Amino acid sequence: MAERPRIYRTRGVVLKRTDLGEADKILTIYSYSSGKLRAVAKGVRRPSSKLGGHVDEFAYSDMLLARGRDLDVVTQSQTIETFRGMREDLWRTSCGYYLAELVDCFTEERIENRPLFDLLVSTLQRVARGDDLFAIIRFFELHLLEMVGYRPELARCLGCQTEVKPEANYFSPRMGGVVCPDCGRHEATAQPISLGGLKVLRYLQRLEEPPAAGLRLDASTRREVDATLRHYIEQLLEKTLKSNAFLDRLRLEESVIPRSM
């Protein structure tokens, strides 16, 4: 079996950065060729560092890395895209942190998933453009879940296996999808979901990209769809995401539901 080259090149998005020592940082990168990986950016905190902004959070860069015993080392990095529009708005920046945290939490190191990489980059581009954040983020959540093996069932009751009727049903985070009224009343984690909320989830799940014109929904439906996916994601991860808590504080401070994601 051929030995892997010590030096390799990949495109990657920086999901997270952690200080190491006085001048270095450990980067969590989601890469095109190797999935999630962790690598050291040596001396990057020094003003003279050539890596500088090329390894900022959310930076999409062409990277050259050297394999190490415990962690690889970023030796060169050239920015492909900075998603500038996302960095100029607190809401959009916060959405970027949420996307990065989702990818970090749902992936293991060194497992290639190129469709997920493409989804991450295209979603960051849409957030930077200022498209409908609600539609973009809900689309991302549903399609990430599918790509990592947790596609929610939205057509058939997970209790009795019958096709759900066009009426108010339930969604069970524990079971992983929709359940009919009869089964839902006996499922502890099931929460009611309206016909309108279920239609939105189904619509976004079957699309290949977010709707260009966004989604015109009332505030109640937005909250319901948001809460349904949040509860499912938290059930899977068995924790609350830090970025979601910050977004909740922004919503509370601004009290502007249409800007919610």
Q: Are residues 66 and 112 in the same domain?
A: no
| Residue 248 included in any domain | yes
Residue where one domain finishes, among candidates 63, 81, 99: 81
Q: What does pTM read for this prediction?
A: 0.93
Measured over all CA atoms, what is the biggest interatomic distance in the chain, rounded to whole angstroms?
A: 65
pLDDT at 258 over 70: no
- Among 14-18, 130-134, 217-221, the minimum mean pLDDT is found in 130-134
Q: Are residues 121 and 137 in the same domain?
A: yes
Q: Give the model's pLDDT for residue 131.
A: 83
pLDDT in tens, 120-167: 999 999 999 988 999 999 999 999 999 999 999 999 999 999 999 999
Cα dihedral angle (103, 150, 108, 41), rounded to 10 degrees? -10
Nearest to 60 by CA among 123, 150, 110: 123
Q: Give the model's pLDDT for residue 255.
A: 53
Q: Give the model's pLDDT for residue 112.
A: 97
For residue 64, the enclosing domain spans: 7-81
Q: Are residues 191 and 62 in the same domain?
A: no
- Percentage above 70 pLDDT, the chain: 95
pLDDT at 261 over 70: no
Residue where one domain finishes, among candidates 34, 50, 81: 81
| Domain at 224, CATH number | 1.20.1440.120
Confidence of residue 254 (pLDDT cuts 50, 70, 90): low
What's the start-to-end Cα distance of the chain, in Å?
A: 48
Q: Are residues 203 and 179 in the same domain?
A: yes
CA angle at 58 for the pair 248 and 98, rounded to the nearest 5°: 20
How many domains would you assign to the chain?
A: 2
> Mean pLDDT across the chain, nearest whole number?
93
Confidence of residue 253 (pLDDT cuts 50, 70, 90): confident
Task: State which amino acid sits at residue 219.
Answer: A
| Residue 245 included in any domain | yes
| Residue 2 included in any domain | no
Q: Are residues 180 and 247 in the same domain?
A: yes
Q: Are residues 47 and 61 in the same domain?
A: yes
Other beta carbons within 10 Å of 187: 17
Q: Give the model's pLDDT for residue 69.
A: 85
| Domain at 40, CATH number | 2.40.50.140
- Among 1-10, 73-82, 215-224, 231-240, the minimum mean pLDDT is found in 1-10
